[in-house]
Structure 1
Amino acid sequence: MRRHHPGRLLMEALSRRRFMTGAAAVGVSFAALPKGVLAAEEPKLNFYNWDTYIGETTLADFKEATGIEVSMSLFADNAELFARFKEGNPGFDVIVPTNDYAERMIKAGILEELDHSKIPNMKNLAPAFQDAAFDPGRKHTMPYMWGTMGLGYRKSKVDGVPGSWKAVLESDKYKGRIALLSEGRTMLGMAAKYLGYSLNTGKAEEIKAAEELLIKQKPNIKVFAQDNGQDLLLSGEVDITVEWNGDILQVMAEDDDLSYVVPQEGSLLWQDTLCIPKGAPHPDNAHKFINYILDAKAGAAIADFIQYATPNAAARKLLGPDYNNNPAIFPTDETIARCEPQTYQGEAVQRLYEEAWTRVQAA
């Protein structure tokens, strides 16, 4: 999610329509059809996405352009996404895992290989995003958005800029006014980074130290928020929250008393991806949808609305300086240098984090 050039660092370290007859029928899958029968996909697509993470009119525009109607369901975090697909596809065509979980899903055999011939708009991606270490050759993923995780805060309630993770991880100064994320792997990683370790540590004793830090801090935490810390901040229920940069930027547009900072210890640099899970009921429609998202105009509309950094170079050319020069969207090289991507390190290490998080929740 990556250093000096965020997309390149990600590479090194490491997110609905009618079936067209005639020529468009070439390439349709016959796997589920009776012998001798050619069936067109119904004009539907099931999309599993994060909350507040699509353009205001994107799904309607896609239906108008293609005739395909999109049904969108929401998940709160990557752990929930992975759990739903671990035993099979419950009926979705396109999903949006973050880079480390995308790699985990690839290794678990959950994701289909993409047909790049059906995604010509891949050419719009910036060169640094054309490949990824977590998915060599982009065989299973297309980049959707990238960004940072940091602290959203209410300026009138917080003393200055909260420049350290200490404000939420080791202090009672904002007791009862703090929201952390409910995503255990990420919060344990942030606690480890605050303690001076890598957020990707695989050492049991360092993960244990992060666990103990969070347990000690629990009396000061109001809630472990399920991807809605920005709403709690906007409503005044909390004064400081751990959140994704774009989510905070969205509410900053509604309340100028809100702001965002990446703490001095560094943070998580992430990349969300567009993927087709195995067993997708509408795989052709899924390719069309991904290709539509990577269109310059469609991509620009999404990025401008959700206020996340797009990897789409053609889309960026359509957006103005308020977007392209905003350091909360596109962090400076100095900020990027303090951050690192979260990586998948195998199921044994994953279990260490999951067991530690279970103890944090139970404490």
Structure 2
Amino acid sequence: MSTNHFRGASRRSLLTAFGAAAIGMSFTACGEKPKPDAGGEEAKLNFYNWDTYIGETTLGDFKKASGVDVNMSLFATNDELFAKLKAGNPGFDVIVPSNEFVTRMSQAGMLEPLDHAKIPNIKNIDPTFLNPDFDPGRKFSLPYTWLLLGIGYRKSKVSGVPDSWKWLFDSNQYAGKIALLSESADLVRLAAKYLGHSVNDIPADMLPRIEQMLIKQKPFVKAFHDDNGQDLLLSGEVDLVLEYNGDIAQAMKDDDDIDFVVPKEGSLINSDCLCIPKGAPRPNNAHKFINYLLDAQAGAEISKTILYPTPNAAAKALMPDDYKNNKVIFPPADVMSKCEYGAFEGAEKASLYEEIITRVRAA
């Protein structure tokens, strides 16, 4: 499969591109049975990941290096990941929740503490990512990528640069040509940012205002997408989309009429993290796999494919200048200074945000 095909793929269509069944992808050679390793674990691993979020040869390379066969299944939202594991781990060894869900899942007893001694490649991580508020001391998670929400847009169809959340949340100028991300907390938080508030500690009396604004906007919204907004933009179904910088960077490689802007009000930073869920059947293999993903060369191969900003300093150093100096992938400091991580503020607040967006979508 060509790199171009992969880069243009949505998080959904990766499975089709690999010709693999939606239940998961296995890299075991035909007829070969995974053998137990010295630690007594079967030489396999179940990996639950976002789509288009791994290097083209990463899983096969890990198999060659370790003998461990990786079966990868995909989820589309953090809400889906959380729901899948809430009733108990169905057999996953490594998962990739975003920062807020690392806090939520660790507080709910859904994550195993990491043994840092088994992950020597921690040394490759940029020190600024080693002690985040959402997981102090990285007890339960290690950073895989970080990412920033903004507006992807088709230059020829938009007048000027759409540098405010207004165009997505509070205007009919691009009616029927807008797509919003479906993740509830992100929508509520960015609406608060547009209204001049932090993405955290949103006052209760602001929530009805956000809900009414989004309900008023709903008729102008073409779709609430599950993180495949870059495809809607590439296909011409929409001209403006709320999407992550890495996804739009992928689309910009395929279509030079596409660009990305972080609105002037600021935005939401996310960090997708590598975690071992409670009850993982193969914790030794899980530690080996996380350590492999944090290797400098393996990390660079992943970044070359997915085009998300990497927190792996050793991997970044191996990347070409058109990645290291790309302002979509690594926005300048003045832009980043207006952006914040969303904090997990309790299950009740999370449910409240879900209810608000459910009502908006039903309106």
Q: Conserved in 1, the CA contact under 8 Å of 2:192 and 2:202?
A: no
Task: Measure the CA separation in 2 of the matches of 1:351 and 1:237.
Answer: 31
**Is 1:20–2:37 an aligned residue pair?**
yes
State the match for 2:203 in structure 1. 203
State the match for 1:165 in structure 2. 165
State the match for 2:59 in structure 1. 59
State the match for 1:278 in structure 2. 278
State the match for 1:45 in structure 2. 45
State the match for 1:8 in structure 2. none
Percent identity over the alignment is 59
- Deviation larger for 131-140 or 229-238: 131-140
Query: Any gaps of 5 or more consecutive residues in structure 2?
Result: 1-26, 28-33
State the match for 2:238 in structure 1. 238
Deviations 1:94-144 (A, max 9, x none): 111111111000000000001111101011111111222211111100000
Q: Deviation at 1:18?
A: 6.3
Task: Measure the CA separation in 1 of the matches of 2:113 and 2:337.
Answer: 32
**Is 1:125–2:142 an aligned residue pair?**
no
Residue identity in the other structure for 2:57: T
**Is 1:91–2:91 an aligned residue pair?**
yes
Task: Measure the CA separation in 2 of the matches of 1:350 and 1:226.
Answer: 18
Q: Secondary structure at the match of 2:152?
A: strand
Root-mean-square deviation (Å): 1.3
- Deviation larger for 196-205 or 297-306: 196-205
State the match for 1:335 in structure 2. 335
Q: Conserved in 1, the CA contact under 8 Å of 2:180 and 2:225?
A: yes
State the match for 1:310 in structure 2. 310
Task: Measure the CA separation in 2 of the matches of 1:354 and 1:164.
Answer: 24
**Is 1:140–2:167 an aligned residue pair?**
no
Counterparts in 2 of 1:170 and 1:152: CA distance versus 1, 3 Å: same
Task: Measure the CA separation in 2 of the matches of 1:158 and 1:279.
Answer: 49
Deviations 1:219-262 (A, max 9, x none): 00000001111111111111110001101111110111111110
Residue identity in the other structure for 1:219: P
Normalising by structure 1, report the TM-score.
0.89
Normalising by structure 2, report the TM-score.
0.89
- Deviation larger for 320-329 or 194-203: 194-203
Q: Secondary structure at the match of 1:156?
A: helix
Query: Any gaps of 5 or more consecutive residues in structure 1?
Result: 1-15, 26-39
Task: Measure the CA separation in 1 of the matches of 2:280 and 2:341.
Answer: 29
State the match for 1:267 in structure 2. 267
State the match for 1:288 in structure 2. 288
Task: Measure the CA separation in 2 of the matches of 1:200 and 1:359.
Answer: 21
Segments of 4+ in structure 1 off by > 4 A?
16-19
Q: Deviation at 1:298?
A: 0.2
Deviations 1:240-286 (A, max 9, x none): 10001101111110111111110111100111100000111211111
State the match for 1:219 in structure 2. 219
Q: Deviation at 1:290?
A: 0.2
State the match for 2:115 in structure 1. 115
**Is 1:100–2:97 an aligned residue pair?**
no
- Deviation larger for 347-356 or 160-169: 347-356
Q: Deviation at 1:355?
A: 2.0
State the match for 1:9 in structure 2. none
Q: Secondary structure at the match of 2:254?
A: coil
Residue identity in the other structure for 2:121: N
Task: Measure the CA separation in 1 of the matches of 2:36 and 2:256.
Answer: 46
Task: Measure the CA separation in 2 of the matches of 1:320 and 1:229.
Answer: 26
State the match for 2:188 in structure 1. 188
State the match for 2:346 in structure 1. 346
Task: Measure the CA separation in 1 of the matches of 2:332 and 2:294.
Answer: 25
Q: Conserved in 1, the CA contact under 8 Å of 2:76 and 2:227?
A: yes
Q: Secondary structure at the match of 2:214?
A: helix
Q: Secondary structure at the match of 1:180?
A: strand
Task: Measure the CA separation in 1 of the matches of 2:287 and 2:247.
Answer: 27
Deviations 1:138-175 (A, max 9, x none): 11000000121000011111111111111111111111
Q: Conserved in 2, the CA contact under 8 Å of 1:93 and 1:283?
A: yes
Task: Measure the CA separation in 2 of the matches of 1:77 and 1:265.
Answer: 25
Q: How many residues align?
A: 331
Residue identity in the other structure for 2:109: G
Residue identity in the other structure for 2:284: D
Task: Measure the CA separation in 1 of the matches of 2:200 and 2:129.
Answer: 22
Q: Deviation at 1:66?
A: 1.1
Residue identity in the other structure for 1:313: A
